[in-house]
Structure 1
Amino acid sequence: MNHLPLNKVINTATKLEKTALLLCVSLSVVAFLFPALLTAHLQPVISQLLSYLGSPFFILVNLLLFIVIAVAISPLGRRKIGGEQAKVEFALFGWLSMLFAAGMGSGLVFWGVAEPALHTINSPLKQGLYPNPHTSGLALTLVNWGAHAWALYAVFGLVLGGLSSNSGKVGDISAPVISVFKGVINKDWQIKLGFGIKLIAIFSIFFGVVGTIANSTLLLRKGLALKLGVESALLSGFIIISLIVALYTLSATLGLKKGIQTLSKFNMLLALALMVWLLFFVPIEPIINIAIGGTWDYLQLITIGTWQLASQLNDPKWANGWTYNYYFWWLAWGPFVGVFLAKISQGRPVWQYILGVVLVPTLVTIVWFSVFSGSAIAWDEAHQSGILQAIKADYTQGLFVFFEQLGCQGAVLIWSSLLLLLIFVATSADSAVLVIRQLSGANKTYTWSLYAWSFALGLCAYVLLVQNNEPLNRSVAIIGALPFLIIFLLQLIGFVKEFIKEEVHE
């Protein structure tokens, strides 16, 4: 792609950051002043859009999953992310820790006990097709959190990772789209198009992360109320979000190696320790049974059911509030996770990249949900302890009700889970802040924008938290993803076009 005039690029970058920051904060202030706009108007509109776009997008992600698997085992799998001269910068454990922490670590803590249990209590899948509610509940959870989501992230990383030298520099989110219109629009229009693409991407990232911070704070707030007796929801929410903001601001300030990588490694070790500690106090056999049966149902869903998900469900509309909503949430995170993956994966062969980004996190997700939810369900059935009823009434308390059954070590597990969730939110937010600044062209020597974006994320998350509405958090999280869907489709077209052109030329 021809180089654009440097002075125009610099001026556009400055204008982009100020415009994006003003837009995100302004919308949040409006939401705070007129909260009915969110619950009475925004939420129904998003639900309606999901009913139209959810199923086609879900099928597209299905297709992308099989494409990335095919790429990994094809001769293309031997190529390097970033080109043959690219060098690996991060060791394997650090790389896996960062990609997992950025991708969805906080969600696994939030839903680790609750989601499979909810789907077990009232299975959305037809019993005639999936007769065991325990395994089908896990399978449906894995459809929402497993290989499909990570395949979407992997595609973003491939498109933005410099695999095709003609598609632009690493992390240039607008280059694949501009390549679609190459020869049709002039340089001035390329700058304007790039401005619009990056603005929508920043908007998508910002509110995707805001929804996650607000959602995670609901669980953290419940934990503080339980362990410390903090009655004021607004006060505890303010304290939690302030801690999260301080943590991810410090991490982003320290940079990729000293901040984000260090925090991600610590959290992966903490997550492993928490899971192993839990296994000492719960029966192993039910966990193994649920893991094996759930994985089998999951494979059945992937190969057959997800191509016609509505036919697998008791109520097809269920998918709008869960599966389709999740997938647009992953799309909202796609720009920053994709840019982040492209940055940290340079020099790795494509097969290893796909293995690390898709297969490894999926296996970890299977183990995580099997251990936490499987042990909670088995414990509740054996002791009639009311865990499932508590989750049915309020799924933010399921984790705590379960751990409290385990005596003194339960307190250790609760505090460890809260710390784990806090850091996982921070490791997603710090990556998002760095990518937002990269997309907006912020000068790395100026830290004001880092603090401004960090504060804006925290402020907007608190505005959303005041509504105390978890489904609303999920709706807000995908605001930017809906318009970004068009950009994503154009990115795929542009990438394929440039890749074919490069192959023919060689």
Structure 2
Amino acid sequence: MKKTTSVFYFSIAIAALFIFWGMIPANKLPDYNLGAVSTAVHSFLIDKFGWFYLLAATTFLVFCLFLIFSKYGNIRLGRDDEKPEYSNLTWFAMLFSAGMGIGLVFWGVAEPISHYYEPPAGEGGTPEAARTAMRYAFFHWGLHPWAIYGVVALALAYFQFRKKEPGVISRALRPIFGDKTNGAVGVVIDTLSVYATTFGVATSLGLGAIQIGGGLSHLFPSITNNFTTQLMIIIIVTFLFMLSAQTGLNKGIKILSDMNIILAVLLMFFLLFAGPTNFIMDVFTTTIGSYLQNLPSMSFQLAPFEQSDWPKSWTIFYWAWWIAWAPFVGTFIARISKGRTIREFMIGVLAVPTVFSALWFSIFGGSALYLEQFRHIEIMDVMNEKGMETALFFMLYQFPLGAILSGLAILLICTFFVTSADSATFVLSMQTTNGRLNPPNSVKFIWGIVQAAAAVILLWTGGLEALQTASIIAAFPFAIIMILIVISLIRSFQKEPIAKKRI
């Protein structure tokens, strides 16, 4: 373990502390268990600083759009003559699989249906509520989250491949803090990044196990979606992603990412043509226009006069969640983006996943809304009775070859599950070995065990939601770090000889 840094040991200690805290039953410490404390802190931040999350996320999007059209877009993430390491298709597949894959599968049906019955304004269950539901699904999974990821990824790729700094968050702030990033300031920043990544991914592992269990239970009624089933799923998936992690970036993650895209496209087009095709494409076309038209107003919507909690429960929660995930996804995207220009990088990171997400929600969310509105099949009742994880499978069974579609969906969730965990193991190892591009297998093995153990223990104790809330708390200080990253990038870009030559 000579190649690890102090960040590794601090992070392991913090992970252990929070896991053991999460194991304490709520009745033992009613006011001081992890769930109670994290919920109280999170509620305080959302209530008092919701506006800050909203302004920060929109600022990051404006900054990314500015870079596309500015002279700085010509700067290459590497040497001036360096070429991209991966093809465009493989690059898109890898960044998308790490960024949102399993979340899209989970929320593709559940979120539009939730918004349809409980819209941000107006009466639920109406055509207007359906239009609003689709628009906000596009909004929550579109340009804003990928701008958040893009800022962190750009900073890491730029300073690592062009400035030859170690690939850790703290070194992206060297133009501001100077050599202090080599000391305690750097350790604090990097430990915070690892903290957010560890618990964010552990939560996703748990949620992924719950949804796979829900799908298997729906497909095979004899299987019960309980802790034993979820434990077996995590054990199998952990074995698979640990095996993949040992093969390195160019084998395991690359192959799985390509497989993810193939399975996702197959499932999408299968449902597109098995379902109400014209309706789905009409929804996609209409909602794209509505999303772009209403993007400025939605980006600043907080409903102070209505005293509605809807923006806090959905938009602000999502923005905090994406910011908490930014160290993980940003580090991974940076690692696979060497050799691209800033303009190429930003267009790819913003446009491709946004369009894919929009098409995904149009097909899955649109099909669900079609069933609700025109065939009077109430998916919301199923969600309330059996959980949100069953919404996708119940919806798929309403169309031809529903069992095959459900099986394909379970396989897709599994591959997304393995890819996300594999990517996270790789990223955590990078972050705790001073940004090594090929971290040791021993470090990847340790982080894989930590993630799996955290997910299992917290599923068992019911502390998964508490851990999710605890990880989102990291979004507040990290949002401030991201603002400093933007300032640091601008300062560094202004000194670029390439930018000056091309004014």
The reply to whether TM is greater than 0.5 is yes
Residue 441 (structure 2) pairs with residue 447 (structure 1)? yes
Distance 2:25 2:218 in 1: 31
Equivalent residue, structure 2, for 1:6? none
Which stretch shows the higher mean deviation, 270-279 or 489-498?
A: 489-498
Asked whether the 8 Å contact 1:167–1:495 carries over to 2, the reply is no
Pair 1:498-2:492 in alignment? yes
Go from structure 1 to structure 2 and tell me whether the alpha carbon gap of 1:41 and 1:493 turns closer, same or farther (over 3 Å shift).
Answer: same
Residue ranges of structure 1 left out of the alignment (5+ in a row): 1-9
Aligned position for 1:19? 10
Q: Does 1:68 align with 2:60?
A: no
Distance (Å, rounded) in 1 between the aligned partners of 2:131 and 2:60: 26
Shift of 1:280: 2.5
Partner of 1:148: 144
Match of 2:365 among 356, 359, 373: 373
| Structure 2 partner of 1:323 | 315
Instruction: Name the structure 1 match of 2:236.
Output: 243
Shift of 1:219: 1.4
Matches within 5 A, 1:75-86: 75-86=71-82
Whole-angstrom CA distance in 2 between matches of 1:166 and 1:224: 47
The answer to whether residue 41 in structure 2 is matched with residue 45 in structure 1 is yes
Tell me, which stretches of 5 or more residues in structure 2 are unaligned?
none
Q: Distance in 2 between matches of 1:481 and 1:155?
A: 14
> Taking structure 1 as the reference length, what is the TM-score of the superposition?
0.89
Q: TM-score, normalised by structure 2?
A: 0.90
- For residue 87 of structure 2, the aligned residue among 56, 74, 91 is 91
Match of 1:253 in 2: 246
1:411, 1:202 → 2: CA distance?
Answer: 40
Residue 288 (1) aligns with residue 284 (2): no
Matched residues in 2 for 1:112 and 1:362: separation? 14
Supply the distance in 2 between the matched residues of 1:131 and 1:283 (Cα, whole angstroms).
17
Q: CA shift at 1:478, angstroms?
A: 1.3
1:485 alignment partner in structure 2 = 479
Matched, 1:101 2:97: yes
Cα offset for 1:166?
Answer: 8.1
Question: For 2:451, which of 457, 462, 479 is the aligned residue?
Answer: 457
- Alignment of structure 1 residues 25-424 onto 2, 5 Å: 25-35=16-26, 37-126=33-122, 132-162=128-158, 169=165, 171-182=167-178, 190-228=182-220, 229-231=222-224, 233-310=226-303, 315-393=307-385, 394-406=387-399, 409-424=401-416
- The 1:473/1:13 distance shift into structure 2, 3 A limit, reads closer
Bigger drift between 269-278 and 156-165 goes to: 156-165
CA distance in 2 between partners of 1:59 and 1:300 (Å)? 19
User: C-alpha separation between the residues in 1 aligned to 2:287 and 2:245?
Assistant: 38
When the two chains are superposed, the root-mean-square deviation of aligned CA atoms in Å is 2.7
Mapped partners of 2:227, 2:161: distance in 1: 50
- Give 1:467 shift: 5.0
Q: SS of the residue aligned with 2:295?
A: helix
What letter is aligned with 1:455? I
Distance in structure 2 (CA, Å) of the matches to 1:477 and 1:420: 26
Q: Could you tell me how far 1:249 is from its partner in structure 2?
A: 1.3
SS at match of 1:113: helix
Give 3-state SS (helix, strand or coil) of 2:301's partner.
helix
Q: Give per-residue Cα distances to partners, 1:106-157, cap 9 Å, x unaligned.
A: 10000011101110112123469x9711111011112211110001111112
Matched-pair contact (CA < 8 Å) for 2:213–2:225: no
- CA deviations on 1:429-462 (whole Å, 9 max, x unpaired) are 2111111111111786743322111011011112
Q: Is the 8 A contact 1:164 1:495 kept in 2?
A: no
- 8 Å Cα contact 1:167/1:498 also seen in 2: no
Cα distance change on mapping 1:473 and 1:115 into 2, 3 Å:
farther
